[in-house]
């Protein structure tokens, strides 16, 4: 995808945010934002929110972090925080 900036594949409208998470990470990188998503096996075993999204740099004034029990919960929170910080993610 890096060779086709501005051209994104059509997303399955019935799919959830977890289906576009990698596209979101790539788009953020193109904006100069360092971002990652991870899952912590120990937190899964403890029944704690195991998914973490973290981002910093680019247009973000401060680093940010979002946690969730599922990828969907984590990324939904992350997108909300990104938009609150002025980063309009197109997904």
Residues of the chain with pLDDT under 50: 1-4, 8-13
**How much is the pLDDT for 5?**
54
Q: Who's near 45: CB < 8 A, 6+ residues apart?
A: none
**How much is the pLDDT for 19?**
86
**How much is the pLDDT for 15?**
56
The answer to the question of residue 89 being in a domain is no
**How much is the pLDDT for 29?**
97
The answer to the question of residue 7 being in a domain is no
70/65 Cα distance (integer angstroms): 15
Domain count, the chain: 1
Q: Which domain holds residue 28?
A: 17-84
52/65 Cα distance (integer angstroms): 7
């Amino acid at each position: 995808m890096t060779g086709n900036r501005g051209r994104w594949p059509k997303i399955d409208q019935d799919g959830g945010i977890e289906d576009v998470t990698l596209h979101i990470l790539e788009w953020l990188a193109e904006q100069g934002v360092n971002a990652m998503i991870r899952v912590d096996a120990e937190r899964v075993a403890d029944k704690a929110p195991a998914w973490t999204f973290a981002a910093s740099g680019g247009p973000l004034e401060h680093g940010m972090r979002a946690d969730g029990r599922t990828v969907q919960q984590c990324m939904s929170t992350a997108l909300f925080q990104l938009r609150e910080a002025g980063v309009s993610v197109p997904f």
